[in-house]
Amino acid sequence: MKDKLEAILRIQEPHTLAQANRFLGSLGWYRKFLPKFAEVAALIHTVTNLTRPNRRKFKWQTAQSKAFYQLKEMLTTEPLCLHFPVDDLPVVLTTDASDIGIGGVLQQQVNGQL
């Protein structure tokens, strides 16, 4: 777990449109667990949603920088980053296997969502 948190903390601020899009894309699965995700990410979307002719005008400013660091903080702190399961909430074990591998994930249902 510590390695994963450190990897998130090492993510550098985007300097290009592609990097900004890649950062937002990497958060897709987590968005439903991050309160006010859309509101915070909207500041970054203002520079990633440029029309094709305007993409050369990509300009990362203070507002985008603050949103970037806020999203990273949201990813690495509670309630998203629960270090220990909550005893009175249900857990779900999902497994998968094939001829060449096996895997599983243990998830906890919090506020009705995995």
Do 78 and 86 meet the contact criterion of CB atoms below 8 Å apart?
no
SS3 content of the chain, % helix, strand, coil (to 5): 50, 15, 35
**Domain presence at residue 50:** yes
102 Cβ contact partners less than 8 Å away, ≥ 6 residues apart: 95, 96
Predicted local distance difference test score (pLDDT) of residue 87: 81
Residue 6 maps to which CATH number? 3.30.70
Number of domains in the chain: 1
Please give the pLDDT value at position 84. Answer: 63
Backbone angles phi, psi at 108, to 5 degrees: -115, 135
Residue 69 covered by a domain: yes
What does the alpha-carbon distance between residue 42 and residue 58 come to, in Å, rounded to a whole number? 15
**Does 99 reside within a domain?**
no
- The verdict on residue 32 lying in a domain is yes
Which residue range is the domain that position 64 belongs to? 2-76
- Domain presence at residue 111: no
| pLDDT by 10s per residue, the chain, length 114 | 677 778 888 999 999 888 999 999 988 888 887 889 999 999 999 988 876 777 777 889 999 999 999 999 988 887 666 556 778 888 888 999 999 999 988 888 777 777
Please report whether residue 87 resides in a domain. no
User: Is the alpha carbon torsion for 34, 39, 45, 51 positive or negative?
Assistant: positive
Radius of gyration of the chain (CA): 17
Phi-psi region of 103 (alpha: psi -120 to 50; beta: other; left: phi over 0): beta
pLDDT value of residue 107: 86
